[in-house]
Amino acid sequence: MRGTSEVTRTVIVRSVPLPRRTFRIFVELEGMYRNIVEQLVLYAVNNNITKFTRLKAEKYREVRSLYPQLPSHYAYTACQDAAERAHSFLRMRKIGRARKAYPEVRSVSIWLDDHLWRAEGLTSISLATHRGRVNVSIELNKHFLRYVNRGWRLASEAKVKLDRRERRLVFYLTFKKEVSEYRPKAYITVDVNENAEAVLIDGVVYLFETDLSRVTLGYYYRRKRVQEKYDRAYGPGSRPVRRVLRRLGNNEKALKKGVRWKLAALIVREAARRQAAIVLERLGKEPANHMIKRIKDHQLRHRVYQAAFKGVQRAIEEKAREYGVPVIYVDPRNTSKICPIHGTEIIYGRNRHGVCSKGGETWHRDVVACYNLLLRALGGDGGYAPSRLRAFVAVDGGPVPLGPTAAHEPAGVPRALWARWRSLGATSDHKLVRVST
């Protein structure tokens, strides 16, 4: 069942600042392109068209004759662009979330296909325009070179935007790679909670702190305070308050995204190195997780859930696809309640520590969850001895150090520490922090 999938990444590359005369060609080009897209979107929305093929069939000829000097493929890509805009507008209108009667074509990026652009080596890009082909030099960046050097293939579709202030072109290039999943030789299990991800690797549970729900809550209350303050001074919904709130929102998003991606990359790289599969909890649609039930505000609960659970999983899934790491989902029910050794209930006290009702050994909740996810991935449900035995003998070729006498305590890693790691190898250089929560 090992699948091969295509992974796609967008990389931004900027041109050098262009001479006025050259830049003017692109301003003209953008004007024509915008005009075409506006007309097409209007037509598509009026006629309920969401498919590129139909829009092209009905309008291509007319659009072509509008600007005969323009390379014909712009009419083609404009149809694709417009069909997508019409599609998302009609969908929003259907669920009552369209604010205007017609979609506005506000920001334009010109869609390109293989006839309209090509890379000339690594340093310049040639574009077809109404004034013939124009070559622009690009500024190489690390990101771009990384994809080139790692065997990604540059796709024919691209987009270009105009940066008027700096007279540059901004290219959105697409890299693709075929990745096939390997057959896993081991498992890495990930148990996500509100403020940390517990990861079981080679018999050690690392507790990587993320603080995601604290970030969400912090920004939530900060926004509330800002809103109240500005509303008192300027009246509700004023322009300054909208600006501040937007900035806060962007900061929050960027911070969370950075945390999720960095940690996902770290976990996935460790999995790839061991040819291991990543085991995740299968999450439901509703934020039913007991940890965030206490948050009364529905929207806020949703946001905490998204940040801490769904968002984290999505980052891991996406990164895993890139490396061909298989991801396995298991039933999350009661994963932290049953002792992985004895199969009996663990009695928790006030903190995250509990005591096994049979063996009397102490457990940290996240360690329990990680081992039970492993048991389930191996085919047992945590209640049958045979699968438990398998888990402790055969996982990584050697016995997993999980006897009743072992310290069932995760190795806590603060965010400031793991954020600088490229791999777990870095652990030996630093002191891990014992968690006491």
Interaction site with Zn ion (CB under 5 A): 339, 341-342, 356, 359
Which helix (DSSP H) or strand (DSSP E) does residue 393 occupy? Answer: helix 385-394
Supply φ then ψ for residue 123, to 5 degrees: -115, -15
| Distance of alpha carbon 396 from alpha carbon 375, whole angstroms | 13
What is the Cα Rg of the chain in Å?
Answer: 27
Q: Largest alpha-carbon pair distance within the chain?
A: 83
Closest CA to 55 of 32, 70, 71, 39: 39
Residues 6+ apart with CB under 8 A from 158: 112, 117, 171, 172, 173, 174
| Distance of alpha carbon 9 from alpha carbon 66, whole angstroms | 34
| Distance of alpha carbon 236 from alpha carbon 352, whole angstroms | 43
Ordered DSSP codes for 319-380: HHHHHT--EEEE--TTTTTB-TTT-SBEEE-SSSEEEETTT--EEEHHHHHHHHHHHHHTT-
Q: Which amino acid makes up residue 187?
A: Y
Q: Give the angle 38-44-50 at the CA atoms, nearest 5°.
A: 120
| Distance of alpha carbon 153 from alpha carbon 143, whole angstroms | 14
Q: Decide if 360 contacts 374 (C-beta within 8 A).
A: no
293 by DSSP, 3-state: which?
coil
87 by DSSP, 3-state: which?
helix
Q: Between the CA of residue 388 and those of 121, 190, 384, what are the distances in Å?
A: 56, 18, 7
Q: What is the DSSP letter of 338?
A: B
Q: Give the angle 12-14-15 at the CA atoms, nearest 5°.
A: 150
Strand order in the sheet with 4-15: 110-112, 153-163, 168-180, 4-15, 132-139, 124-129, 117-120
Q: What is the DSSP letter of 435?
A: P
For residue 127, the Cα-to-chain-centroid distance in whole angstroms is 31
Residues 6+ apart with CB under 8 A from 69: 130
Which regions of 234-320 does DSSP assign to beta strands (E)?
276-281
